[in-house]
Amino acid sequence: MYTNRAYKEEDPLTSPDQLIYFDVLPTRPHPDDWMTGTAWEPAPRRVIEKLRLTLYRIVFAISFLIQRYLSKYLAVPVFLIGLMTLKVLKLFPGCQSDDELSERRKISIFRMIYMFYPYVYMWRSFFIGIEGFFTEFHLPSLSKTPVLLLYGASKGTLFHDKKLEDMLKKKHGSSKSDAIGIPNAGHWLYLQQPKECYDAVKHFLFD
């Protein structure tokens, strides 16, 4: 949101000249790319990917609302039942390394449910017609701004557009742009494989 606002205002003090995305990448081309004919059509998502994206957002949002407005103790079984159901049906987008990190950091179940508040705003924005959360915000113009995407290669569902990942790897628009899947990492790749992430960012920014 901030990046798009900065570009819209064309403020040279706030518009970034390079962008790095961890795990999630917008899929909509920048308006300038449509005008210059260098835009791309996002790849359609498979049904299974749409299910994963939608159902876990529902479970997380409901859990937060119950904890916030009814009972924090009631929210726990609701969340756990929803989580286990998604995992049994293989619709949960996370992976084993994400579960291991949560256990290692000893995040309380109440704190974890509180961290789901963005999903409430996603659904709220969707129902009142605010564009963005489900259509994804647009990227900068790749012909002007190098982009690096880092993502955990072990995730069950990748949130970014595979077509755009291939474009970044082929240095579309910029010789610096790239997309790197970090092995043995999931959603929190910068905590699961910090050295690999740091080295990739350092190389992108300074080499």
pLDDT in tens, the chain (207 residues): 445 555 555 555 556 788 899 988 887 888 788 888 888 888 888 898 888 889 999 999 999 999 999 999 999 999 999 999 999 998 888 888 888 888 888 888 999 999 999 889 888 877 876 555 555 567 888 888 899 999 999 987 788 888 889 999 998 888 899 999 999 999 889 999 999 999 999 999 998
**Which pLDDT value is given to residue 66?**
98
CA 207, CA 125: separation in Å to the nearest integer? 40
Q: Specify whether 120 is located in the same domain as 53.
A: yes
pLDDT of amino acid 162? 87
CA atoms of 50 and 106, how far apart (whole Å): 30
Domain boundary among 93, 127, 161: 127
Identify whether 119 is part of a domain: yes
37 domain-assigned:
yes
pLDDT in tens, 113-159: 999 998 898 888 778 765 555 555 678 888 888 999 999 999 877 88
- Whether residues 118 and 147 fall in one domain: no
> Do 120 and 187 sit in the same domain of this protein?
no
Do 201 and 147 fall into the same domain? yes
Six-digit token string for 8:
């819209």
Question: Dihedral angle at the C-alpha atoms of 26, 32, 38, 42, nearest 10 degrees?
Answer: 30
Print the domain residue range for 103: 47-127
The last residue of one of the domains, among 106, 127, 148, is 127
Do 28 and 92 share a structural domain?
A: no
Q: Are residues 116 and 179 in the same domain?
A: no
Tokens 């564009």 found at = 131
pLDDT at 141: 83
pLDDT at residue number 157 = 79
Q: Model pTM? A: 0.81
Q: Are residues 165 and 202 in the same domain?
A: yes
Query: How many folded domains does the chain comprise?
Result: 2
Q: Is residue 132 part of a domain?
A: no
- Sort 149 into a burial class: Cβ within 10 Å, 0-12 / 13-18 / 19+: buried
* Residues 173 and 142 reside in one and the same domain: yes
Q: What percent of the chain has pLDDT over 90?
A: 43
Which of 127, 162, 194 is where one domain is finished?
A: 127
- Inside any domain, residue 147: yes
